[in-house]
Amino acid sequence: MIVIQFVFVGHKKERIIESIRALRREPISKIVLFIGEEDIPGESKARKTAEELKKDLEPVYDIEIAKIDKKNVIRAAKKLLEMIRGEKEGVLLNASGSLRSVAIAAYIAACVTGSRIVTSIPKYDENEEEVGIEEIVEIPTLPIDFPGEEQIQILSAIDSGVDSLDELIKRLNPGITSDKFAKERSRVSHHIAKLEKIGAVRKLKRGRNVRIELTPLGQFLMGGIGIGSA
């Protein structure tokens, strides 16, 4: 199967080059080099490294430079998730040269999509200077335990937020009769408590009502399931 390689660019150009060489047996058709969106400390060097990599790799691969949030893990993971789901080919994530929390975002995206993710073990000389890589290591991914079907329906109904539990119940059950409302309130409250416990929703006190919203994790989970705009 043709593979697109996502490479997260830091300051170690040679480490990234060697990791790509070590993966040359993979049927790579394209490499996407990820740099930071914001002008944060150290990012100018990473962008320079990406431009140098692009120049070096273009004779062999189709190269694209993309931007990612290097400070917000969930936002970065959502961006990767969207890109992976948008590709027709398989995606291999190469975290050998990543800075900050990008490797964590890459791992989350790999777990959600079932993509492969690798990193490298650096090699050092007798002066403890980095002189390449020892080997490429594929990182095992963990299966994501997504919310159950009823909880998925509730997350989908919450969408951009509801101003009360009653509003959520009406979204889930248009035309619900008063005699069934109490039982449904108990059921939905039970699931909301579970979703709040795992950090997928949050409740905000607004006067007499309690507004319910998806957290970034809740939005991310919906994206992983393939529902909604996350």
Q: What is the pLDDT of residues 80-107, one digit of tens each?
A: 988 998 888 899 999 998 876 899 999 9
For residue 228, pLDDT over 60 is answered with: no
pLDDT at 227: 46
Q: Average of pLDDT values for 49-68? A: 96
Q: Which domains does the chain have, with CATH numbers?
A: 3-138 (3.40.50.11700), 149-225 (1.10.10.10)
DSSP of 43-80? HHHHHHHHHHHHHHHTTTSEEEEEEE-SS-HHHHHHHH
pLDDT at residue 230 in the model: 37
Percent of the chain with pLDDT over 90: 64
Name the token pair of 5: 């390689």
Q: Residue 2: what pLDDT?
A: 81
Percent of the chain clearing pLDDT 70 (strictly above): 95
What pLDDT is recorded for position 147? 78
At 40 the pLDDT is 85
Residue 37 has pLDDT above 60, yes or no: yes
The pLDDT of 42-70, averaged and rounded, is 95
Distance CA 124, CA 119 (A): 16
Q: How far is CA 91 from the centre of its chain?
A: 13
Q: Are 158 and 228 in contact (CB under 8 A)?
A: no
pLDDT in tens, 183-193: 999 999 999 99
* Cα–Cα distance measured from residue 30 to residue 39, given in angstroms and rounded to the nearest whole number: 26
Reference 139, options 96, 176, 101; nearest CA is: 96
User: How confident is residue 130, by pLDDT bands cut at 50, 70 and 90?
Assistant: confident
Output the pTM of the full model: 0.72
Reply yes or no on whether the pLDDT at 223 is more than 80. no
